[in-house]
Amino acid sequence: MNIGVAVVFLVAGLLILWKGADLLVAGAVGLAEQLGVSSLVVGLTVVAMGTSAPEVAASIAGVLREVGGGDLALGNVFGSNIANLALVGGLVALIRPLEVKRKTLFREIPVMLIVALLLWPFLRNSYMSRPEGLILMAVFAVLIVITIHTAKREAKQTRDEAKKANLGAKPKNPNTLKNVLCVIIGLAGLALGAKITVDGAVVIGTRLGLSEAVIALTIIAFGTSLPELMTCVVAAVKGHHDISVGNLVGSNIFNTLLVTGAAGVVRPFQIESQRLAAGADYWIMIAVSAVFAGAVVIGKRVVDRTCGIALVCMYIGYVVYLLFV
């Protein structure tokens, strides 16, 4: 593939991503209304897992390689998590200040930080074994069960309150099939668009002489974060803050536990680059997560445009660090 074709791939992929994100957000909001749960829960589960599917595919494909597989898998996870909070979170805040619910600040965001720190003892020996991968996946399964249980309880409370207030039980958008199809087609569009975009970007990166670790931490990580970016931007434009927040936080939890765990279960891997084995890039991911949480606290549960600029600048600084250090 030459540079010209690669550029065409980039443009076509971005267009497909935008339309896929538009359909996904519309379907997710409709499903949330029908199920009587908050958009945040849908963002944390359906949307987050769907938009993080490219990370799973990229990391598993990475560990199946004979050389450098572990670095590609972890570089993808770390780079995607950093891109989600710094780049995507920052851009969303620039479009429209990001509002975060009190429950999210005291529940989901701390969980995101805790699971990121949980990786440290697994990575410090530069090796991810199959039992360690299973532990990470088990923790993820427990979190999903807790989230679903909490969502059911909150949905019941919402229905009870509606009955008491004589608001009726009819959802605003009763077309279940339409909403499900929007979610499915939207996720498929995001996956296809991300693949086309990444294929083009990797060709360009290889032609520029970038190393595999840098390609994983930048191009592949950014490419697999494109579904989150487009979904959050579309949600921000439409004012669905819970979808954006749920997608960002949920995707990072998903990446840290399930993506890393699944890669280790499929094939235990050696981490060759010390910057990834609980080294510099790992702690940068932790720092970005802490800064995002701090921005939410300082802004009194609103990530404003000033914080958005700071987050985007952090990401730009990180990319410069990767390219020149």
Which residue range(s) make up the domain with 280? 3-324
Biggest alpha carbon–alpha carbon distance for the chain: 65
Number of domains in the chain: 1
**Mean pLDDT, range 233-247, rounded to an integer:** 82
Helix boundaries (H) for 36-129: 39-42, 48-51, 53-63, 69-82, 89-95, 102-106, 108-118, 120-123
pLDDT of 248 > 60? The answer is yes
pLDDT digits (tens, 9 = 90+) for 79-128: 889 988 999 999 989 988 888 888 888 888 999 999 999 989 988 888 88
| Cα–Cα nearest to 320, from 214, 230, 243, 221 | 214
The distance of Cα 156 from the centroid of its chain, to the nearest Å, equals 28
Q: What angle do CA 205, 207, 213 make, to 5 degrees?
A: 40
Residue 163: CB partners within 8 Å, gap ≥ 6?
A: 169
pLDDT digits (tens, 9 = 90+) for 136-189: 999 999 998 888 788 777 767 766 665 666 554 454 545 778 888 887 887 787
More confident residue, 79 or 196: 79
CA distance 197 to 113: 30
Count other C-beta atoms under 10 Å from residue 139's C-beta: 18
pLDDT of 290 reads 94
- What three-state secondary structure class fits 302? strand
> Domain with 143 in it: what CATH number?
1.20.1420.30
pLDDT of 198 reads 66
Sign of CA dihedral 318, 319, 321, 325: positive
Which of 93-97, 167-171, 234-238, 310-314 comes out lowest in average pLDDT? Answer: 167-171
pLDDT of 167 reads 52
**C-alpha separations of 258 from 44, 189, 220 in Å:** 14, 22, 18
Which of 129-138, 156-165, 188-197, 313-322 comes out lowest in average pLDDT? Answer: 156-165
Residue 160: CB partners within 8 Å, gap ≥ 6?
A: none
The distance of Cα 258 from the centroid of its chain, to the nearest Å, equals 12
CA distance 142 to 317: 36
| Cα–Cα nearest to 28, from 135, 167, 181 | 181
- What three-state secondary structure class fits 138? helix
What is the residue whose two structure tokens read 């949905």?
A: 155
Tokens at residue 88, please? 């995507």
The residue count for the chain: 325
Instruction: Please give the share of the chain, as a percent, with pLDDT higher than 70.
Output: 82
| Cα–Cα nearest to 18, from 186, 206, 130 | 186
More confident residue, 265 or 274: 265
| Single pTM value for the model | 0.78
CA distance 308 to 255: 22
What is the residue whose two structure tokens read 């004589």?
A: 166
CA distance 307 to 94: 9
